[in-house]
Amino acid sequence: MNNNDIVEYRFFDIAGSTLSVIDRGDGPAVLLGHGYLWDWRMWQPQIEALQKRFRLIVPEMWGHGRSGVMPGGTQSLADVAAQMLALMDALEIEEFTVIGSSMGGMWGAHLAASAPKRVHGLAVLNSYLGEEPLTNRRTYFGMLDQVEREGRVTDSIIANIMPLFFAPATLARSPGLGTQLRQQVAEYDTARLRQSIVPLGRLIFGREDAMHILDRINASILVIAGRQDRSRPFGESVEMAERLSTSAHILDDCGHSATLEQPETVNALLEEFLETIN
């Protein structure tokens, strides 16, 4: 898939709202969960690499991309996981692998724990199931309060969040990634921010410690982290990997957006993982 391809979206009524989905490729099904403030394009390098051998289902989270507002009553990542399982029901896909980055890894783990007979593989990138550290939570909630109050994402907030998404080397090497994220965030209108982006952010950063659900996951596991990730320090991934009885792959010169910062390495790890379990 390149920039000249026509992207075809599918739309599903899930929990009373419209979920936008990219459905590409043929083969064993893989559900891809993107990170907060991104959309399906976070997975573009992986779609290009994997679509010839796998069916890739890429939902755009509530308020992101072309998806509608976050459904009423959505109060936890477990609720989001149930909504994504409803999507797979709508697609009539019984068994699948979940690959999630950041927010996607959080609800992906809840999904794997709640539907062990259906999820036979789980890859978690730049994510963490423990509660958000208090200092981070205060900072993020302060930003969210400001966005809700002003109805927009200010330039100062955008400047503050860029280092949370990318390693310094990434921004120096590929400044277009920062430009892309800035443009996406700047395009959020007031209604979308207040109805979905802000409440979803509060849900994510105000989450309870869910490390215990890792003990209920029977799927094959892959854990990937960026050594320069300021949002999710790689030690958190090491902690999760140890609890899951596996090892974490720590990528050098990589921040919070491994799928875009180190696409070749991530693609190779995912291809090997998927070939092993399918």
pLDDT in 10s for each residue of the chain, 278 residues: 444 467 899 999 999 999 999 999 999 999 999 999 999 999 999 999 999 999 999 999 999 999 999 999 999 999 999 999 999 999 999 999 999 999 999 999 999 999 999 999 999 999 999 999 999 999 999 999 999 999 999 999 999 999 999 999 999 999 999 999 999 998 899 999 999 999 999 999 999 999 999 999 999 999 999 999 999 999 999 999 999 999 999 999 999 999 999 999 999 999 999 999 98
Superfamily for domain range 9-132+208-277: Alpha/Beta hydrolase fold, catalytic domain (3.40.50.1820)
Report the C-alpha gap between 52 and 245 in whole angstroms: 31
Each domain of the chain, given as residue ranges in start order, spans: 9-132+208-277
Residues 6+ apart with CB under 8 A from 33: 59, 61, 84, 98, 99, 100, 101, 103, 104, 105, 107, 108
Whole-model pTM above 0.85? yes
Counting Cα atoms < 13 Å in the Cβ hemisphere of 236 gives: 25
